[in-house]
């Protein structure tokens, strides 16, 4: 895991030293173990390294005999199989997991990534062909951002690097802003910053003279509708896939651990890790100091004890929330107003004291059919079925001044595209989430919150082997008797029944409502006066929203207040360019 940046240069263009230095500074937190760069006619590539595999010879850029150079962010989990299989006989210069893609590119050109199993954003400069090739993994676990500039096509692991280097002017797209405020994430290739777009999950592009001349895309999910398979055969297949995926996701030359919640997904990863590891797994769990909060520590303790894991608990307090939120919002440059960023960031800070890699259960709900909204989407409208995310967070409370036209177009387009290939309603709902919610919220959260501390996050439930075993399962093996993730629960019941896999899903919530209600009197005037908030919500509406009834905020009111608070802090740093100073109140009070 690292950070990369660069520019596919236009003819005659060169990168000013100040731009190269600014890119390096902006990405330094992603790679504290060293830097490298490649400068040649037509291309500039940069990488800061978080050393995980091949600590001795894995520095980048990497080169191959044909003259191509590579920098990468991520891990290629099947690098051993590639060296022994399609690349057998190749003379490798390093033991790096990222060298095989370079040789595959030389053999196969722009379709080379079809052989890769991993999470990655890769940049290759093919000097002989005078082209730069950029690739991103099919699930979108690793990010890569693009911008057309006077120098050429610039790219970076974080949009903040492009902004801080002055390659793109700061600004705000109104439609994407409304997606963020209403959905908590943004959709599609375009980001919230005008002029910056995402390389899409699974996409590879070839750039010549600063222009995209060729595209190729690898799908994350298998084609086709539900398959015919019995429960026992499905369980056997799932067992093989889980052990295979977790095994390759553990490949590292540094210590690794697990983010363990009280839920099914991370417990399943833990059960597989238990079978694969001789030493106790080191597991990290976050909990909250608010009475009555949905605290997952008890369930995590039970699972950890069953697996014989070493268990570290991190208490996330109200004081942490107010103190660190400006810094946390700064880390989310491609914004997701997901309150789980708070415990994730704090958990990563603690885990980095002991490990450089953590596995997590992200993707389990999407892959196995866990969300309640999926069960609703399975039903036709006349039986109570509902369109996912039909109304926005602030819209439902009547808080908005106005909404940009077409703010739901991205979500509706993704849903229409997902309802193809003979998929069931459930599969279409899952595939819709895989397009935007997963890469632009959950995985963006994991990437930014962990890389803020130089910690690598791996997601074994988002893997081709798991997708092949799970996505095309019959609906009845995903949802049964109103319970989602049926097959994964059944597998866990056999391999770690202590985790109570058929207990009612609690859901992961952060007690932001209680924390905000406790300081609402001080927060309300600061939030109402913030120029970014005032542009979308009337000051009197903010004051009314932050007027707790009986000392508490309702569920929807709490989430709306959280969203506006996050947005105000995020906007100050990434749109207005103001460095965050102090805690929430000091930051919002600085004009």
Positions marked active-site: 2
Backbone angles phi, psi at 507, to 5 degrees: 85, 150
Segments in 393-508 forming alpha helices (H): 409-418, 425-435, 437, 443-451, 464-470, 486-495
For the four alpha carbons of 326, 332, 337 and 343, in that order, the dihedral sign comes to negative
The residue count of the chain comes to 591
Q: Which residue has the tokens 């109402």?
A: 528
Residues 6+ apart with CB under 8 A from 12: none
Q: Using CB atoms within 10 A of its CB, is residue 502 exposed (0-12), middle (13-18) or buried (19+)?
A: middle
Query: Which residue is associated with the tokens 């996505």?
Result: 471
Q: What are phi and psi of 74, to 5 degrees?
A: 135, -160
Would you state the structure tokens that stand for residue 44, as one six-digit string?
């500039």
CA atoms within 13 A on the CB side of 522: 10
- Pick the closest to residue 221 from 59, 417, 450, 454 (CA basis): 417
Position of tokens 């629960």? 489
Across the beta sheet with 152-156, the strand order is 35-40, 43-49, 2-9, 152-156, 145-149, 197-198
Residues 6+ apart with CB under 8 A from 126: 66, 67, 68, 105, 132, 133
């Amino acid at each position: 895991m690292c950070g990369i940046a660069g520019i596919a240069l236009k003819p005659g263009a060169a990168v000013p030293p100040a731009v190269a230095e600014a890119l390096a500074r902006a990405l330094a937190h992603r790679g504290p173990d060293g830097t490298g760069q490649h400068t040649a006619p037509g291309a500039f590539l940069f990488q800061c390294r978080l050393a995980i595999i091949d600590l001795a010879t894995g520095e980048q850029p990497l080169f191959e005999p044909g003259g191509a150079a590579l920098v990468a962010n991520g891990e290629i989990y099947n690098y051993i199989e590639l060296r022994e299989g399609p690349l057998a006989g190749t003379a490798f210069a390093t033991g790096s997991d990222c060298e095989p893609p370079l040789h595959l590119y030389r053999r196969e050109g722009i379709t080379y990534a079809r052989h890769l199993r991993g999470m990655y954003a890769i940049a290759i400069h093919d000097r002989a062909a005078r082209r730069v090739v950029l690739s991103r993994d099919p699930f979108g676990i690793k990010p890569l951002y693009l911008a057309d500039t006077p120098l050429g096509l610039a790219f970076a692991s974080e949009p903040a690097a492009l902004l801080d280097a002055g390659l793109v002017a700061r600004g705000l797209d109104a439609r994407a802003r409304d997606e963020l405020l209403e959905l908590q994430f943004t959709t599609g290739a375009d980001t919230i910053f005008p002029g910056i777009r995402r390389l899409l999950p699974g996409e590879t592009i070839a750039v010549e003279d600063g222009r995209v001349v060729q595209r190729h895309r690898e799908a994350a999910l298998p084609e086709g509708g539900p398959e015919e398979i019995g429960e026992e055969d499905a369980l056997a297949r799932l067992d093989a896939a889980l052990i295979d995926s977790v095994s390759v996701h553990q490949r590292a030359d540094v210590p690794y651990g697990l983010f363990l919640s009280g839920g099914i997904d991370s417990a399943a990863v833990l059960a597989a890790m238990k079978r694969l590891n001789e030493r106790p797994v080191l597991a990290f769990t976050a909990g909250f100091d608010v009475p009555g909060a949905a605290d997952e520590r008890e369930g995590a303790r039970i699972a950890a004890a069953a697996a014989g894991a070493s268990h570290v608990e991190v208490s996330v307090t109200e004081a942490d929330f107010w103190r660190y939120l400006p810094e946390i919002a700064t880390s989310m440059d491609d914004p997701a107003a997901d309150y789980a960023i708070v415990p994730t960031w704090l958990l990563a800070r603690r885990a980095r004291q002991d490990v450089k890699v953590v596995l997590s259960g992200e993707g389990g709900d999407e892959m196995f059919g866990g969300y309640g909204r999926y069960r609703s989407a399975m039903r036709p409208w006349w039986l109570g079925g509902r369109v996912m995310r039909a109304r926005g967070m602030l819209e439902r409370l009547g808080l908005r001044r106005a909404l940009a036209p077409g703010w739901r177009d991205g979500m509706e387009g993704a849903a229409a595209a997902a309802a193809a290939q003979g998929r069931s309603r459930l599969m279409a709902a899952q595939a819709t989430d895989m397009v935007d919610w997963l890469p632009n919220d959950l995985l963006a959260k994991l990437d930014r919150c962990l890389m803020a501390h130089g910690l690598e996050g791996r997601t074994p439930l988002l893997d081709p082997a798991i997708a092949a075993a799970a996505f095309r399962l019959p609906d009845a093996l995903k949802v049964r008797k109103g319970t989602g993730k049926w097959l994964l629960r059944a597998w866990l019941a056999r391999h770690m029944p202590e985790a109570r896999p058929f207990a009612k899903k609690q859901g992961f919530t952060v007690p932001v409502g209680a924390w905000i209600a406790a300081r609402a009197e001080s927060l309300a005037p600061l939030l109402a006066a913030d120029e970014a908030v005032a542009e979308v919500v009337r000051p009197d509406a903010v004051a009314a929203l932050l007027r707790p009834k009986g000392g508490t905020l309702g569920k929807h009111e709490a989430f709306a207040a959280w969203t506006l608070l996050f947005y105000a802090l995020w906007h100050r740093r990434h749109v207005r360019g103001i460095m965050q100073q102090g805690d929430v109140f000091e930051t919002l009070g600085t004009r």
